[in-house]
Structure 1
């Protein structure tokens, strides 16, 4: 059985999808970009600020599902410029314990929604 997870503390979907779906113990969260859920504005002051907003949006979805970053088993990071990898990775790394960090791939893409620089999706498991 699947349960739709929603929160006002993360950006509302802008299409026919949900913020996350919980199926059994597994949470599948849609990709998050740096939309501030309170203002609806993109946070693009720096790649670090943009990544932090993405991670805070993920945190809000996890919280709505009664989970934390420790529950994440897989992340997918999409970036528009691989030259930003080190800065994105530095912010991303502050949200995880390196010894229990999830599996991950990072892929450079031609474009992302609203032409942002980074989008991250996650899969988490509640044990």
Structure 2
């Protein structure tokens, strides 16, 4: 049975979507952008700062369900500029040490609110 996940430790959804959804065994997060839980947008910050904020949002959602980055199975990273890959990857690697999840990273034409990165994940809750 589908259940919506909502935590005050990550930014509220800015559209017709939920922070995450789960069936109790798998958690699917919405794409997280560099937006603080208080609503401060970090779109003008360097990509490493944007990546860190997006990942902190992701961690908050995971933790609200009793999960951690170790439970993440797959991550998708959307970059406005693929030339930011190296800087994003350096910050990203600090969150997924040891056995990192599968990952895709793609360049897109534009991201919500003019940010440089958006990150979504699928995690196991079992």
TM-score by length of 2: 0.95
Moved over 3 A (4+): none
The Cα shift of 1:56 comes to: 0.3
The Cα shift of 1:14 comes to: 1.2
The Cα shift of 1:27 comes to: 0.1
Report whether the alignment pairs 1:113 with 2:112: yes
TM-score by length of 1: 0.95
Q: What are the ranges of 5 or more consecutive residues in structure 2 without an aligned counterpart?
A: none
For residues 51-100 of structure 1, what are the alpha-carbon distances to aligned partners after superposition, in whole Å with 9 as ceiling and x for unaligned? 100010001100111100000000000001011000000000100124x1
- Correspondences of 1:1-127 after superposition (within 5 Å): 1-38=1-38, 40-43=39-42, 44-98=44-98, 100-127=99-126
- Between Structure 1 and Structure 2, how many residues are aligned? 125
State the secondary structure of the residue aligned to 1:32.
coil
Q: What are the ranges of 5 or more consecutive residues in structure 1 without an aligned counterpart?
A: none
Give me the CA root mean square deviation.
0.9
Work out the CA distance in 2 between the residues paired with 1:82 and 1:111.
Answer: 12
State the secondary structure of the residue aligned to 2:15.
coil
The Cα shift of 1:25 comes to: 0.5
